[in-house]
Chain A
Amino acid sequence: MNVIDTTPSLALVLAIGVLFAAGVYLLLERSLTRVLLGFILMGNGANLLFLVAGGRSGGAPLVGTTPEDEMSDPLVQAMVLTAIVITLGITAFVLAMAYRSWQLHGHDEVQDDLEDRRVARHAARNAPAFTDTDSEESGETLDDEAAQVRDETGTDSADGTDGTDGTDDAEGRTTREPR
């Protein structure tokens, strides 16, 4: 049971369909200007959709001017009103981006993300996307690796040298933090 009369009007439905179709067609372009225009068209379509969902047409929702049972739904109108103004803000923002893109690259086309492309190239030839010490096989044995790791040890010997100095030179490979 419908509490309110919500009979949709086919004319509005058609307008919604065309606005969305044209909007999406433009949205899938690469030129930011076209994307923006597509966005505006879709926004108009969405606003109409709200209106249709709000119910049948009626008089202006002004108390005293229109009898209450003949009014159109004021709630959707309040929502759509702010949506319209926000669309203006978004439009300006995308325009600024288009301009910036033109400033930087000489065109306003959205380019593919370079990092994603790099990942795809690496994946295609099965090369590691980054150097990962966890997955490479060095071919060294555990003993070899262990020999490279020594602690920063030291004793309190009176002459101030630490207990390992006799062999440090011979090894020439202690990975001691330079100080």
Chain B
Amino acid sequence: MLYVLLAHLAMALGAPALVSFLGRRAFLVMALAPASAAAYALAWTERVMHGQQPVQVVEWVPGLGLELAFRMDTLSWLMLLLVGGVGALVLVYCSAYFSRTAHGLGRFGGVLTAFAGAMVGLVVADDVLLLFVFWELTTVFSYLLIGHYADRKASRRAAMQAIVITTAGGLAMFVGLVVLGVQAGTYRLSEIVADPPTGGAVTAAVVCILVGAVSKSALIPLHFWLPAAMAAPTPVSAYLHAAAMVKAGVYLVARFAPAYADTTVWRTIVIALGAGTLLVGGYRALRQYDLKLVLAFGTVSQLGLIILLVGLGTRGAALAGLAMIGAHAMFKASLFLVVGVVDAAAGTRDLRRLTGVGRALPWTALAGGLATASMIGLLPFAGYVAKEAALEALLHTDGPRWVALVVLWSVVVGSMLTVAYGLRFWWGAFWSKSHLHAPARANEHVDLRPGRGPLAESDEPPIDPARLRRQPVQLVAPALVLAVLGLAAGLVPHLGDRLLAPYADTYPAGEPGHLVLWAGVTPALGLTALVLGVGAVLFWQRSRVERFQASLWRILEADVVYRRVMRRLDDLAADVTALTQRGSLPFYLGAILVVLVVGPGGVMFARTAWPRDVTAWDRPAQLVTVGLICVASVLAARSRRRLKAVLLVGVAGYGNAALFLLHGAPDLALTQVLVETITLVIIVLVLRRLPPYFSDRPLAASRWVRLGVGVGVGVVMMGLALVAPLARIATPVSVDFPAEAYEYGGGKNIVNVTLVDIRAWDTMLEISVLLAAATGVASLVFLRTRSGEIMRARDARSATREGAGVWSDGTDPHAALRRHGVTDDAQPRMVVWLNAGRTLAPRRRSVIFEVVTRVIFHAMIVFALFLLFSGHNAPGGGFAAGLVVGIALIVRYLAGGRYELGEAAPIHPGILLGTGMFLSAGVGLVSLLLTGKALYSQTFDLHVPVLGDVHLVTSLFFDLGVFLLVVGLVLDILRTLGAEIDRHAERAETGRDPGEDTGPFEAMEPDAVGGGRR
């Protein structure tokens, strides 16, 4: 069985290539796949009949107990034969049905073959989860096939409707299958059915499974997707929506009926929905004008009948149901194929316009006639045998009398409707209707207007029978084969009896039934005669029937109800979205914070033990610092002036550094001071371009809300600060850090060793965050390339020659005075340190600042190197050292402008970032190679001739990486928020690009476009 499935898979994957190679003839090759399934079933016929069931189990996910388990019993054999046989015939039909130029044939062929494979898997799967997988696969492929003409609205809608309904049912079924599997202790289908579990949960599970079957087999109230699915190409309708997929629900019911058909809930659902569907489908089929729709509603009706029969739970009814499955697959697929032929020949499927088709296409008419005869149950067709057996079984049903009567008479009435719409179908498709003249208006264009009701004649002219063309044999033959098979099967009923009885006998209740052609004069025969007679009258009086149907108050159709429900669902989704997704950042943040205060905060204040002893302060100096922080924070929050707020926040940050120091954390204090300094500078750099004051918030009330939330969060955090230390009841990992740091890490500064050794993985990930942040900053401001070119002093236009230098503001009131004594832009004779200073606007230069810079820059670099190398044993390390270098660069930039920055660090920050990351990760990699452990420090004691003994720890290289990365970060920020923003500003003020690299993309920059600057 696995090979059959693989054959389908291979054929489906190869289909597009086949089609591009062979054109539409490729369908003939594809037909081999389902044919192999049918051949497989036929080869096993004898053995399956004698109870030898082929079983195949392949481990799939052993941990979950998932297996590819297959088994073929009589029911599977029947389904496999139908799926494979009809599938092969339909694919042969496709090879002539579509025009050579039809689009998407490769995809269509592939999906259709894949569907056949999924259907094969579905009917032979013995694992309920595997069954579900194939079930959903058929749903998805069906969606793709219905929506084959994706450019048509009707197709798209029908496909969407089908997938929504069948997937919803499939999910319900999945729940049911899982519950059943858990209750039974096995997911093996045959074992569940052999020893069915019982109980309340199982009843619910069975209902869920029935929901799945009802949705798939288009029973009321979910039947409407099937007629809509007629938007699919006709071969698809013939295969999926007559023979194969809609039978999946029937298969499921038949599968579980031996186990659960005797439960009340099962019987209630099956009888109510089966009988209801039978009648509704037949009634609606009498009202349609489109031949495919007539058949579609007919299918709905027949599916109701079959489910009723196989689900009823008696052996006789089950046998009739199985026979009906086979008969229905043959005659309905045949009829759909016939419609396809008529459609291809006549160009319409409207039975009000078709006339004289039977004469032009006699073979097609013959196939249609045979299939119709089987459908309406004429002697001696298969349909007759099945229906006869059904009536016979229903006449002898056990149980309450009225239930049996209701079932019997619904089947009788449903069969009358079947006869009526069957005759109407054949008449509509093939009859030469005398009242339809064939006017010679064939070449006039006629407007499309919606039909005006059931009695209205079509707005379009009838077809001209003389122009009908004979259709090729591949089109007619499959339909004829199926129709003749329907006749042949009816002629040898005992064979069917022998083949199908083994499964019907697995039903626990009822007398075994028999399939016979002639049982003598019985009540069932009388009922059949009645059915045929009334059906013929209904057909004869068809215009009265139509008038009657039109005069009835039309109840709400399920399709309309479905659409309204979907509309309400959309509305609900929009309302919920509007309520929760306001799109306002303060709202979202506020919601999160309020939840924090109310949820965890509430629990904390209500349920937590508070610490008994607290100290007011550790050191008196803390009090002063805390007071400073509090005042600065409050004033910062109240400030309306940007610069003031920034400086106050800076004060609070320096206060934090002091607290760190007082707490005994010199490394933190050092880092905090450095970071705070850099932060201040870069914020001020950006603030140059932003308005000096914050804009007013119009709502004063919102301020109080914000204040309330803020105070609430503050109080919760204070509580947390009091409670959190109490949570530390285990021995902290850090008690051993001093010893570990010294012995393994080879350093005395525990914090630094923690960073570069003990918790080096953390550090590595954290510096990668820095790298990402630096990249993000650069890409937000540099729009052309990631970070532009390095600006060197020699690239700058001379400030004096061009009139305005860096930071000129465009105006210089003292320009005239400055001209005196300024040597023009002659190159300096000797190398001047800080030589980009001349690129500044003259009034921006500060002699004192430049001198100070000259004095302190090198000292700072040396200090940074000291921090870097001593960091292992004293406060310092890569972070601090990198930040010091960053500050040194800031000083150079402030003293000499952006070109000076390029002089100070003539290197791309990306290179620094990348090298840093590479070093840090490389240390880990090297130690991984050396010791098998990543980021494991090695200590080397080298003897260098001059320096003496050198104590070298590999983690120094890690720290070097951190250092380079931090320098790269600061440099990137400076180049971006300093230098590049300078350039933007100067361009905005002078109206031209002060830079050297006017690129073709310059005009695309937003601030060149204006952007509403005020």
Mark A residues whose CB is within 8 Å of B. 1-4, 6-31, 33-38, 40-41, 44-45, 47-49, 51-53, 55-66, 68, 71-75, 77-82, 84-93, 95-100, 102-110, 112-117, 119-120, 122-124, 126, 128-129, 132-137, 139-157, 162-164, 166-175, 177, 179
Within 8 A of A (CB), among B561-618: 563-564, 566-567, 569-571, 574-575, 577-578, 581-586, 589-590, 593, 611, 613-618
B690 touches A81 (CB 8 A): no
- Pairwise interchain contact B755-A155, C-beta atoms closer than 8 A: no
Q: In the complex, how many angstroms separate the beta carbon of A145 from the nearest chain B beta carbon? A: 5
Cβ contact within 8 Å between A77 and B667: yes
What's the minimum C-beta distance from B167 to chain A, rounded to whole angstroms? 13
> In the complex the two chains form, what is the Cα distance from A173 to B710 in whole Å?
66
Q: Which 10 residue pairs spanning A and B have beta carbons closest together?
A: A154-B99, A116-B583, A113-B583, A21-B714, A89-B773, A6-B725, A167-B347, A152-B102, A72-B664, A166-B467
Closest to A108 in B: B690
- Which chain B residue has the least Cβ–Cβ distance from A10? B616
Please report which residues of chain B, range 46-75, place their CB below 8 angstroms from some CB of chain A when the two chains form the complex. Answer: none
Is B675 touching A100 in the complex (CB atoms < 8 A)? no
Give the docked Cα–Cα distance between A42 and B780 (Å): 25
Question: Total A-B pairs in contact (CB under 8 Å)?
Answer: 535
Closest Cβ of chain B to A162, distance in Å, is 5
Minimal Cβ-Cβ distance residue in B for A169: B443
Complex Cα gap A4–B728 (Å)? 8
Cβ of B356 within 8 Å of any chain A Cβ, yes or no, is no
Which residues of the other chain, B, contact A117 by a CB distance below 8 angstroms?
A: 583
- Contact of B1011 with A by CB under 8 A: yes
**B14, CB-defined interface residue at 8 Å:** no
| Set of chain A residues within 8 Å of B161, measured between Cβ atoms | 134
Given contacts A20-B717, A25-B707, A151-B234, is CB(A81)–CB(B667) below 8 Å?
yes
Contact B717 A17, beta carbon cutoff 8 Å: yes
Segment with Cβ contacts to A, from B30-38, B127-135, B745-753: B745-753
Dominant secondary structure of chain B at its interface with chain A: helix
Known A11-B617, A63-B738, A154-B100; contact A57-B662, beta-carbon cutoff 8 A: yes
> Considering the chains assembled together, what is the distance between the CA atoms of A37 and B683 in angstroms?
10
A4 CA to B977 CA in the complex, in Å?
45
> In the complex, which residues of chain A have a beta carbon less than 8 angstroms from the beta carbon of B149?
149, 175, 177
- In the bound assembly, the distance between CA atoms of A47 and B564 in angstroms comes to 55
Cβ contact within 8 Å between A91 and B682: yes
Give the contacts of B761-784 with A (CB-CB under 8 A).
Answer: 762-763, 766, 769-770, 773-774, 776-777, 780-781
Closest to B573 in A: A129
The reply to whether the CB of B734 lies closer than 8 angstroms to some CB of chain A is yes
Say yes or no: is B230 at the interface (Cβ < 8 Å to chain A). yes
Does B777 contact A96, Cβ atoms closer than 8 Å?
A: yes
With A1-B729, A93-B777, A107-B695 known, 20 other A-B pairs at CB within 8 A are A3-B729, A16-B717, A20-B714, A25-B707, A26-B637, A61-B751, A74-B741, A80-B665, A82-B766, A82-B879, A85-B671, A91-B679, A106-B1012, A108-B690, A128-B571, A132-B570, A134-B161, A139-B450, A142-B559, A153-B99
Q: Is there an interface contact between A55 and B343, defined as CB atoms closer than 8 Å?
A: no
Complex CA distance for A62 and B665, rounded to whole angstroms: 10
- Can you identify 11 A-B contacts, CB atoms within 8 angstroms? A6-B728, A22-B710, A34-B645, A53-B721, A82-B766, A84-B675, A85-B883, A96-B977, A113-B581, A137-B560, A154-B100
**Chain A residues near B707 (CB, 8 Å)?**
25
Cβ–Cβ < 8 Å partners of A2 in chain B: 725-726, 728-729
Q: Are B290 and A147 in contact (CB under 8 A)?
A: yes
The answer to whether A78 and B343 touch across the interface, beta carbons within 8 angstroms, is no
**Distance in Å: Cβ of A166 to nearest Cβ of chain B:** 4
Q: Contacts of B103 on A, CB cut-off 8 Å? A: 152, 177, 179
Type the 1/0 row for B689-721, where 1 means its CB is closer than 8 Å to any CB of A: 111001101000000011101110111011011
Which residue of the partner chain A has the closest CB to B770? A89
Asked whether, in the complex, the Cβ of B227 is within 8 Å of the Cβ of A142, the reply is: yes
With known contacts A4-B732, A142-B293, A60–B714 Cβ distance under 8 A: no
For A34, the closest partner residue in chain B by CB is B694
With contact pairs A41-B633, A84-B675, A167-B467 given, residues A133 and B156 touching in the complex (Cβ less than 8 Å)? yes
Q: Are B879 and A73 in contact (CB under 8 A)?
A: no
| Bound Cα distance A80, B660 (Å) | 10
Given A16-B718, A61-B751, A74-B734, A119–B581 Cβ distance below 8 Å?
A: yes
Bound complex: CA of A6 vs CA of B722, how far in Å?
10
- A107 and B690 alpha carbons, distance in the complex (Å): 8
B101 is contacted by which of A27, A141, A154 (Cβ under 8 Å)? A154
Q: Is the CB of B446 within 8 A of A105?
A: no
Query: Which residues between 997 and 1014 of chain B lie within 8 Å of chain A, taking CB atoms?
Result: 1006-1007, 1011-1014
Decide: B770 and A24 in contact? CB cutoff 8 A: no
Do A142 and B290 form a contact, CB below 8 Å, given A73-B732, A95-B683? yes
Q: Decide yes or no whether B992 CB sits under 8 A from chain A.
A: no
Which one of A75, A97, A128 has the highest number of Cβ atoms from chain B below 10 Å of its Cβ?
A75
Q: Which of B223-243 contact A (CB under 8 A)?
A: 227-228, 230-231, 233-234
CA distance A52 to B963 in the complex (A): 28
Complex Cα distance, B450 from A148, in Å, reads: 11
Nearest to B728 among chain A residues (CB) is A6
Q: Which residues of B contact A51 (CB under 8 A)?
A: 659-660, 663, 665, 668
Say yes or no: A20-B642 contact (C-beta < 8 A), given A128-B570, A156-B96: no
Binds A, one of B619-627, B861-869, B946-954: B619-627
Which residues of chain A are near B678, meaning CB under 8 Å?
A: 88
> Which residues of A have CB within 8 Å of B694?
29, 31, 33-34
